[in-house]
Structure 1
Amino acid sequence: MRIPFSRSLIAAFATIVAIVSMVMLPKPARAGVLGGFYDPPSPLAPYCLNDGDVIKDEPSNFVLPTQTPYSARRIMYCTRDTNGARVAVTGTVITPELSWAGSGLRPIIGFAVGTQGMGDQCAPSYQVTTANPTEYELAAITALLDAGYGVTISDYQGMGTPGVPSYLNRNALGYAVLDSIRAAQRLTSAFLPAVGPVALWGYSEGGLASGAAAQLQVSYAPELQVAGAYVGAAPANLQQLAQYLDGKPAAGVLLYMVNGMNAAYPKAGFLNMLNPVGRLLASQALNECWVQTLAQHALLQTSTLTNDGRSIPAHFAEQPLASPVNQQLLGLVAPTVPVFVVHTPLDDIAPYQPGHDMAVSWCDRGATVQFTALTAPTHLAALIASVPLALSYIQSRFDGLPAPSNCGNF
């Protein structure tokens, strides 16, 4: 099914681009400098008896463009990294202050954010409370809050907390999202149900995280009552993503990929391919948010960053780097929850074909999938267009309506 892109959504997208272009770029910060709340206790083990345990929390000045009264808590909770080791991750839990008007218990959304950057200052729980936030997810978060849902938003591993972010590392992202829901249910100061219906929501990197969480849920968090998952514009195949972005406006994302993979798989030697310029830019990217990276590394030709003059995608395609990159492939395990997949063939950042193939693969493995192809002209424009569609889909799942599927017809 293909959904037309309206003029009003184009206007909304243009407004967002104009606003972002006028916003002062966040001042770069070295990794680990936020300190304070973002410093995990040491040793961590006594605080992490179970995945999703809340280590600490505090009030948050998380600013949303809504008239709906709400409260927000900044949290630190326990989850796992790519290799299964326990780590501390931060995030935000948002609770509407109006009584839940629906049937049953108030649902909770595990909201997986898209690409934020690599600097600690890019963590949503931090930067949305500052004077110059550049968080493009606020409209979607607000729509969910206005619908009466509790929302829990993970910063992901290494964002705010010490270490390198787990950028596009499938399992680490999925664990972080599922454990953020567990943390929200256990956070007594959030006044959300300890059990009850939940859903997964994510676009772009968040789509990878939401899809990964949907795949992992039955084995990792079977107690969660997941009604459905929204997976938008997921970069489902990192090999194809790397090839697609090299030399393009968002080519700086390849620096994030190198850093994230190197941190998760240090023995593979992801940095070994880089020449001095490449190492310098990769190091600089560790301190950047997405706006800075787009501005400073647009149209980057990664062949200029390697020792042998071949592109970073060419290195990703060969061993020993190919194995860890290929481990992030999404679609090889069928989610047991119904999934709504959205992508535009005109996506200029996350290529359409891998997202389409992911949905087909899920269908072939028996999943209940509704796939929608948008006509939105860009990645960010499709983000805006997908919000009302995803909201309607999730609301229908919470209402207990049969989940639609168009497997075999896309």
Structure 2
Amino acid sequence: MSVHLPRPVALLVATVVAGAGLTLAAAPAASASAPAPAVSHAAALAQPDQDPFYSVPAHLGATRDGAVLRSRRLPADALAVPSPAAVWQLLYKTRDNAGKPTATVATLLVPTARWTGPGARPLVSYQVPEDGLSTVCAPSYVQRAGAEVAAVSAAQVQFDRQRVADAVSHGWAVVVPDYEGPGSQFLGANAAGYGVLDGIRAARSFAPAHVDRKAPLGLWGYSGGGFATTAAAKKQAAYAPELRISGIAAGGVISDLNRSLQAVSGGALSSYLPFAIASVRNAYPQANVDQYVNASGKSYADAVSHTCLGTAVVTGPHNVSLASLEAQPGSLTAGPFHDFLHSASPVGYAGVPTAPVYMYHGTADELIPVDGARELVAQYRAAGVQVRFVEDAGQNHQGEQQNGIAGAVAFLDERFAAGAHR
């Protein structure tokens, strides 16, 4: 069945899906000490919920955060955009948004070409804008399945696949974490931060990959990936102090959830509203979000509570305001819910990056207002963080995603070189 969107929505769907949040890369169990045999690319690709490799082992409480629990080597053509690299998937121990032990998957790529730069080959954690409420949105799956996943934007999938391939061609080792975990906790800052940092721990400790313990470490992500990158950057000092991050590149960061909801309220992209409500409800069950939402809002949220953002954009509703979804006047736009969203936003929770930061944002971003990024940058600078902030005049969310690549890569190269010569 074809879906006919209102014309303003049709023109903007590519923008919201290609930037505000979708994805990248997937399946019999093996231990880290006895890796599973290579997975045939020709074999049918099981979704994560039907793939035993993704199963979370019991009794993880005493297991070290970042420990590799299972691994499997993928053939060179396993990824939809093959890279000249050795490729593994790692199931590793991490924590969910409530801090409880769980496990998630990362895709690790190590270039086959010899590293010719200064010092050890850098390791970059690339955060895809996973933005999903289903494990079919997970990067480890979509990086391989892609077009098979109807709920995920083909444009965004292709963009992220190409970025990973480009990073490998640049000579970097790349780890792509499923940082939302098996509960798909989109907008859960703790889950995102833990998932990223433990993914780096897993990549560094996985002996077959030969990642140098002295390798410079970098973080990079845009939009939802920028949210996860920022969460990891702010939580690293307390959660993973042994990781010496060299540089952090984050673009289009969802710095203030309240500002983002207001930005799309009443417009063609108001379909983001119920998806955000469903996401916060999933990541923060203790917040009892439903008490602030009326029957229509709950129905809209329920309809998208097990999908990826691409489907939510199409599903609607379009041209509705946040206020029209409130249980009582002001219940979503002010008061406890508004305060809670602030506390769950990068501008509202504690933590300071321990490495220089490169942030980039389009001044015409229709989804994630630049004012939130400005506030976050001001906080960083007040705390003594070295920040390079680039505002690109007239760039919208999708445009800045592409526009910001060169600056992010140059910044990370600069930071890796500086670390190598210390």
- State the TM bucket, normalised to the shorter chain: 0.7 to 0.9
> Could you tell me how far apart the structure 1 residues matched to 2:269 and 2:65 are?
34
> Could you tell me how far apart the structure 1 residues matched to 2:317 and 2:391 are?
27
Percentage identity across paired residues of the two chains:
26
Secondary structure at the counterpart of residue 300 of structure 2: helix
In the alignment, which residue of structure 1 is the partner of 2:131?
Answer: 116
Secondary structure at the counterpart of residue 258 of structure 2: helix
> Could you tell me how far apart the structure 2 residues matched to 1:177 and 1:396 are?
22
Matching of residues 282-301 of structure 1 within 5 Å: 282-297=301-316, 299-301=318-320
Instruction: Answer yes or no: is 1:337 the counterpart of 2:336.
Output: no
Q: Which amino acid aligns with 1:119?
A: S
What is the number of residues matched between the two proteins? Answer: 367
CA distance change for structure 1 residues 58 and 316 in 2, over 3 Å: closer, same or farther?
Answer: farther
- 327-336 or 36-45, which deviates more: 327-336
| TM superposition shift of 1:401 | 7.6
Matching of residues 173-322 of structure 1 within 5 Å: 173-297=192-316, 299-301=318-320, 302-308=322-328, 310=329, 314-315=331-332, 317-319=334-336, 321-322=337-338
> Could you tell me how far apart the structure 2 residues matched to 1:189 and 1:250 are?
45
Q: Which amino acid aligns with 1:130?
A: A
Structure 2: 5+ residue stretches without partners: 1-11, 19-23, 25-46, 149-153
In the alignment, which residue of structure 1 is the partner of 2:9?
Answer: none
Structure 1: 5+ residue stretches without partners: 1-13, 21-25, 403-410
- 290-299 or 371-380, which deviates more: 290-299
> Could you tell me how far apart the structure 1 residues matched to 2:266 and 2:93 are?
38
Task: After superposition, give the CA deviation of every residue in 1:242-291 in whole Å (9 maximum; x if it has no partner).
Answer: 11122334433333332332233323210233344433322221222222
Task: After superposition, give the CA deviation of every residue in 1:278-329 in whole Å (9 maximum; x if it has no partner).
Answer: 3332222122222222222263524454444x57xx515322x244312223
The alignment's C-alpha RMSD in Å is 2.7
- 215-224 or 129-138, which deviates more: 129-138
Conserved 8 A contact 2:130-2:138: no
Conserved 8 A contact 2:127-2:228: yes
Instruction: Answer yes or no: is 1:170 the counterpart of 2:189.
Output: yes
In the alignment, which residue of structure 1 is the partner of 2:405?
Answer: 387
> Could you tell me how far apart the structure 1 residues matched to 2:354 and 2:217 are?
14
Secondary structure at the counterpart of residue 130 of structure 1: helix
Q: Which amino acid aligns with 1:315?
A: L
Secondary structure at the counterpart of residue 399 of structure 1: helix
In the alignment, which residue of structure 2 is the partner of 1:396?
Answer: 414
> Could you tell me how far apart the structure 2 residues matched to 1:401 and 1:53 are?
26
| TM superposition shift of 1:64 | 5.2
Instruction: Answer yes or no: is 1:73 the counterpart of 2:88.
Output: yes
CA distance change for structure 1 residues 298 and 275 in 2, over 3 Å: closer, same or farther?
Answer: closer
Conserved 8 A contact 1:202-1:231: yes
Conserved 8 A contact 1:34-1:121: no
| TM superposition shift of 1:32 | 7.4
Of 156, 162, 178, 1:139 maps to 162
Of 39, 43, 58, 1:42 maps to 58
In the alignment, which residue of structure 1 is the partner of 2:179?
Answer: 156
Q: Which amino acid aligns with 1:56?
A: R
> Could you tell me how far apart the structure 2 residues matched to 1:191 and 1:264 are?
35
In the alignment, which residue of structure 1 is the partner of 2:29?
Answer: none
In the alignment, which residue of structure 2 is the partner of 1:378?
Answer: 396
| TM superposition shift of 1:137 | 1.7
> Could you tell me how far apart the structure 1 residues matched to 2:124 and 2:419 are?
18
In the alignment, which residue of structure 1 is the partner of 2:35?
Answer: none
In the alignment, which residue of structure 1 is the partner of 2:70?
Answer: 56
| TM superposition shift of 1:205 | 1.4
Conserved 8 A contact 2:138-2:178: yes
Conserved 8 A contact 1:252-1:293: yes
CA distance change for structure 1 residues 62 and 345 in 2, over 3 Å: closer, same or farther?
Answer: farther
> Could you tell me how far apart the structure 2 residues matched to 1:252 and 1:266 are?
22
| TM superposition shift of 1:394 | 0.2
CA distance change for structure 1 residues 258 and 373 in 2, over 3 Å: closer, same or farther?
Answer: same
- 218-227 or 136-145, which deviates more: 136-145
Secondary structure at the counterpart of residue 242 of structure 2: coil
Conserved 8 A contact 1:62-1:128: no
| TM superposition shift of 1:378 | 1.7
In the alignment, which residue of structure 2 is the partner of 1:328?
Answer: 344
| TM superposition shift of 1:83 | 2.8
Conserved 8 A contact 1:316-1:325: no
Task: After superposition, give the CA deviation of every residue in 1:141-171 in whole Å (9 maximum; x if it has no partner).
Answer: 222111111111111234xx2x3x2222222
Q: Scaled by the length of structure 1, what TM-score is found? A: 0.82
